[in-house]
Structure 1
Amino acid sequence: MSVLAGLTVNYFRGLSSGLTLRWLAQVWQQYQGSVALSLGVAFATLAIVLAVGVPAGYALARSKSRVARAIEEALVLPVALPGLASALALLVVYGGFTAFRMSLWFIVVGHVVFTLPFMVRAVAAVASGADLRTLEEGAASLGASFVTRFVTIVLPNLRPGIVAGALAVLTLSIGEFNLTWMLHTPDTKTLPVGLADTYASLRLEVGSAYTIVFLLMTLPLLVAMQWLGVDPSGTRALKRRPR
């Protein structure tokens, strides 16, 4: 019904008032900056998470120490920890750095903290199921350096986990409201925050049209995750991991 309201001339009169794209055009005109900001934050978050999460997941999968297992179990915490709690912690620690606090990078850091465990768990689950140690030892015996082994052997075998983690990171970053709402400023208003504003301050048709824009951005990612069997929490992958 919310989607339908964004396509009707007057929601309270229903379809009898006629269909229109006026509200979608109005939303795009007023909030296209929020869409661009959300995409920028999501891809910046993904770049950092890939750079940190892939090596971390690989290292956790290779290590058999109790410390590695403890770190792996601790990665479940973001699933249970509310985004507001993470945002408050970031505000307490970095709130005094005004320039950083007012920049878009403050939100990016929050999203990295929130989404990094999902990438690490996805990569670690795939790495533990592949016999990478044997493949690497074979390549090393032929004179391949660590960098060569990592690029030509490890990364190709980790591709399913990397793709799954990337989809989860993008979806979570674009759709995260609680953490973003606490960290945003009037100049760093992203898609979920703008959605809340439209329902709070504008007419229902505009809020519903904004919902359509939001769905158009997130549904393809959700469909891809479902098609690939991605579990965003990573808990199923952890349960399948051999100990």
Structure 2
Amino acid sequence: MTTKAQTEINNTAIEGITIDCVIFSFNKESLEVLLVQHAEGESVGKWGLLGGWMKTEESADDAAQRILHELTSMDNIYLEQLKAFTNPKRVIERRVVTIGYYTLINREDYNITASLTVREAKWHKIKDIPDLIFDHNEILDFSLMHLQNRVRQAPIGFNLLPEKFTLLQLMHLYEEILGIELDKSNFRRKILHMKLLVALDEKQKDVSHRAAKLYKFDSEIYEKLTQKGFNFEF
């Protein structure tokens, strides 16, 4: 039988272990990351990644999902664990180990709001990141490097796009993530050859230029092809 004292202990944070989440999004032609301005503690008023303490009854994955939900109301979001950041000097005057995670979202699907521990939440272009608290710039750089490797091996980048998109939007996404300029014809030929996209009988609306054809990513086709030995390689 659980006592009141045990319950109180189970609801407390684990001293010295935190979770930090890198939340990527794509706005038109810019890769962005969500930063928060802290409302309390030693980092009050400063910008950093979304994070918090892990509770005694939580796994690292559960803690990451909870922290993300508290700010964004997102449930069961794809989160990938990066690694533990263990530099003993990462936080002054005490030892704090943090476990980094990252996720990719379409920002139009969620309403990001401040919480009790966050004064402001704001999207920043990946090319215009300010100096962040602790080692959060290092965590962000590591996350971006990991993302660049992952998008070459799996079609996770589609999480950043709306359900319906143009090939040009998809190309700009890869250019932003990888930091390179792609040849339009070669990109179109290569991505269509993979047969992971469904061409829709629709075109862009309310655009000043010639409306482009819309496509959608077919996850079921990807799963079937993967079972047959298909390797996504960009």
Structures share a fold, TM > 0.5?
Answer: no
Q: TM-score, normalization: structure 2? A: 0.27
Larger Rg: 1 or 2?
A: 1
Q: TM-score, normalization: structure 1? A: 0.27
Instruction: With a CA cutoff of 8 Å and minimum separation of 6, indicate the structure with the bigger relative contact order.
Output: 1
